[in-house]
Amino acid sequence: MFVKILLQAAALLPFLTSTTSAQTACNNSPSLCSRAYNNMTHLGAHDSPFLRDKSTSFSTSGNQYYNSTVQLEAGVRLLSAQVHKNSSASGSDKWRLCHSTCDLLDAGSLTNWLKEIKTWMDADANKNEVVTVLIVNSDDASAADIGAQFAASGIDSHAYTPPSATVPKTWPTLQTLINNGTRLMTFVASLSETSSQYPYLMDEFTYIFESDYENESPSNYTCTPNRPTGLTTSSTGGRMFLMNHFLYSTALFGIQQPNSTYVNVTNAETGLGSLGTQLDNCTGVYGRAPQFVLVDFFNVGPAIASVDQANGVSSATGRKNVTTAQPDENATANNNSAAAGRRGASVVAVVVAVVVAVAFGL
């Protein structure tokens, strides 16, 4: 009888081990729990809420094929967005997620986007996930302006507050952030001044440096600091490294738009200008992998494969698979005349934005 009980218990061991591994995984891997926040590479979705899908009639200004929730489910852990001021609106609608201008592509209010992220973070399956938000402060919002939107969404309850306004010698581990209920890291580019009322809003360039973000050729990527100015590869002040890795193409009137034609190589592990190759290049320069990488169309490649390689993650848990295929935009547009009409309206909006910019010398 005793032997029978032992055999039954032994039969359960694989299931117990599997359950424990799933429960202790941080950012989709048990191996990342004990790592400091700055001792890993976080995959980032560049311009996360700006979509190139049916909802935008496949706007050529869109940077992602899938929304922020899908991005998070698939392993993205850094979400970036441009924030602009709508002077004619009030309250939470005043601060909008717009691509360059709100006439070009308006993805809704900052508050609603933060609510979407919070909803994902609050789900039981995601309680061990640390998420980073990078706000591009296009219209010089104050810390109070941005902080009010975080408070309105309720996501500030997850926010991490740094111990000081200088680069720390060490960052917390993912497990520490999870245990402390501070799973949201928030950076703003840039803040003219910080606020004691919203101490979790970290000025990006105090803590992070970036490589150049305007690339139109796959041979032009660099690991050299571009922002903030005055840094070199040998002197970065202890900042974390955000590697921009996306391509632009030039359209009508010299307007730059995300390059979706070459993205299958841009986000791949190998090839000219590939994500995997550039990660290796920059790791060689700094002696460690970049802490963040920003990509367009994250699912193509897929970009997560190169990030897993950089992190030494071989078997991620809790991720949802997203197709790496690009949508057939032309077929969809041809079968939907209304969509074609809206696409034309988008082009008009682009032209208007350019004319205004030229008129005002922007």
Sign of the torsion angle spanned by Cα atoms 115, 117, 121, 126: positive
Cβ proximity of 95 and 135 under 8 Å: no
158 is catalytic: no
Q: Which helix (H) or strand (E) holds 95?
A: strand 95-98
Options 84, 99, 158, 245, the catalytic residue = 99
Residues 116, 126: Cα–Cα separation, whole Å:
13
Given 46, 84, 158, 245, the catalytic residue: 46
Q: Which two tokens stand for residue 195?
A: 């606020």
Say how far residue 153 (Cα) sits from the centre of its chain: 19
Q: Compute and round to an integer the Cα radius of gyration of the chain.
A: 21
d(CA 68, CA 76): 9
Ramachandran area for residue 142 (φ above 0: left; ψ -120 to 50: alpha; else beta): beta
**Residue type present at position 177:** L
- DSSP element (H, E) containing 98: strand 95-98
CB 257 within 8 A of CB 61: yes
Nearest-angstrom CA–CA distance, 161 and 166: 12
Token pair listed for 80: 């970036």
Cα dihedral sign, 273-277-279-280 = negative
DSSP SS3 for 96 = strand
245 is catalytic: no
Positions marked active-site? 46, 99
